[in-house]
Amino acid sequence: MSGHRCAIGVDLGGQSVKLGVVDEQGVLSLHRQVAIDATASAPRVADLIIEQIHLLQDAARDQQFDPRAVGVVMPGYMDRDRTRLLMVANLPNLSGSDLLERVRGGVDLPVSFDADCNAAALGEYRFGAGKGSSPLIVAVVGTGIGAGVIVEGRVLRVREHIAGSLGHVVVDAGGPVCACGAKGCVEAHASGRALEARATVLAGEHPESLLAGALAERGRLTGLDIRTALERDDAAAEKAVAECGWWLGAGVASWSVIYAPQRVLIGGGVAGLGAPYLAAIRRGFEEVGQPGLVRSVEIDLAALGPHAGVIGAAALVMPAASP
C-alpha cells in the first residue's frame, strides 16, 4: 500500500503515553493519550506502548496514512547505542530496564528512542518557532528543566545523547539544593516544582492574595492555580512568576556563553504562563547576561505546545522534507 508518508511519534511521560501520526509537514493526526501508572513495570509499560502503536497503525491504515518508522521519547538517559535505558525521570521502574528491546520486538516498523528534550528541540526547528535557527536551544520547563540543542539542523549529542544537563547549570552558587544534589541549579529556582514552592511561600506572606485563597481551599498550589491567579492580576502570583522567570533568564545567560544560540525557545507546561513569564525571562537574561549575547540572542516561547513531544518524536525518525 502506498499512502500518505508519515511517522508515528510516541511521548512517554510519568503520567501518560501520548502518540499520533505526524506527516512531513509536522501535522499531527489520530492523536491518542493513555494514562500510565508511574509505578508500572517495564514489561507492562512496553505492552501498553506496543498495543497503542498497533491500534494507531490500524487507524492510520484506514485513513490512508503510511507510517514508515516509530520514534519513542522519554525524559531520561540511554546507553551509547540507545538500546538500554539508564534513567527515566518519574518512571522509576524503567531505569535500567529492557523496555527498548521489548518495544522493538513487538512492533513491525523500525523503532528509535531518544530523550524528550531532543524531540522538542527538533520539532521546533522543523515545524515550530525555531525554523532555520542555528544554534537553537529549546528548554522544556515542567516538573524539572530539560533542554535540547540543534546545530545546523542536527541534534547536538555531547553526553548520554543530549547536549548536556542544561537544567543543572548552576546560576546561584550555594543556593537551594536541587533534586540532582547540587546547589543553586537553574532547575532549583525555575522549574515548575520551584515555582509552586515559591508561590506557596508568597501565599503565606500575602494572606489577601488569590494564591492564599487557593492554598487554603486545596491545601497545595498547582500550576493551574498560579496561572489562574496570574490572569487575574494577583500580585503574589505575579511576583512568583517574575522571580522564577528571572532565574530562567539567568540560566539562558549561562547556556548562551556555551552555545551562542541564535534563538532560545521556552516550552513545557510552565511556558503556558505566557507573556508575563516570557518578559521575566528576558529581564533576567538582560540583567545578568553578556551584553553582546543579550543583543544577539532571541528568547521566545515554543510553538508546538502540549504535542511537542509527539511531533518531535516523529521528526526524529523522519528525514527532513525537501524544500
Q: Which residue lies nearer to Zn ion by CB, 244 or 314?
A: 244
Is residue 51 within 8 A of residue 104, CB to CB? The reply is no
Residue type, position 323, single letter: P
CA–CA separation, 70 vs 65, rounded Å? Answer: 13
Q: Kindly tell me which of 146 and 312 has the beta carbon lying closer to Zn ion.
A: 146
Segment interacting with Zn ion (CB under 5 A) among 114-122, 145-153, 176-184, 213-221: 176-184
The rounded distance, in Å, linking the Cα atoms of 196 and 201 is 9
Identify which of residues 133 and 191 has a Cβ nearer to Zn ion in the complex: 191
Among 40, 87, 182, 288, binds Zn ion (CB under 5 A): 182
Pick from 45, 46, 74, 185 the residue near Zn ion by CB under 5 A.
185
Q: Which of 126, 133, 138, 102 is closest to 27 using CA atoms?
A: 126
| Of residues 18 and 189, the one with the C-beta less far from Zn ion | 189
Binding of residue 180 to Zn ion (CB under 5 A) = yes
Which of 32/183 has CB closer to Zn ion? 183
d(CA 111, CA 117): 18
Segment lying near Zn ion (by CB under 5 A), choices 35-43, 69-77, 160-168, 238-246: 160-168
Which residue lies nearer to Zn ion by CB, 128 or 251? 251
| Contact stretch for Zn ion (CB under 5 A) within 16-24, 37-45, 96-104, 165-173 | 165-173
- Shortest distance, position 57 Cβ to Zn ion, whole Å: 39
First-to-last C-alpha distance (Å) of the chain = 25
Regarding 178 and contact with Zn ion (CB under 5 A), the answer is: yes
When asked if residue 155 is in the footprint of Zn ion (CB under 5 A), the reply is no
Between 8 and 178, name the residue whose CB sits nearer to Zn ion: 178
Distances in Å between the Cα of 121 and the Cα atoms of 46, 103, 163, 224 are 25, 24, 11, 25
**Binds Zn ion (CB under 5 A): choice among 18, 104, 126, 168:** 168
275 burial level (CB within 10 Å; 0-12, 13-18, 19+): exposed
Interatomic CA distance for residues 320 and 23, integer angstroms: 11
Which stretch in 5-13, 91-99, 177-185, 222-230 sits in contact with Zn ion by CB under 5 A?
177-185
| Residues whose CB is less than 8 angstroms from the CB of residue 53 and which lie 6 or more positions away in sequence, other chains included | 8, 10, 19, 70, 106, 107
Record the cell numbers describing residue 224, joined without a space: 493551574
Query: Using the rule CB under 5 A, is 126 a contact of Zn ion?
Result: no
Binding-site size for Zn ion (CB under 5 A) equals 5
- What whole-number distance in Å separates Cα of residue 52 and Cα of residue 293? 45
Dihedral angle, C-alpha 8, 9, 12, 15, nearest 10 °: -90
Distance in Å, CB of 181 to Zn ion, minimum: 7
User: Quick check: 177 binds Zn ion (CB under 5 A)?
Assistant: no
Chain positions contacting Zn ion, by CB under 5 A? 168, 178, 180, 182, 185
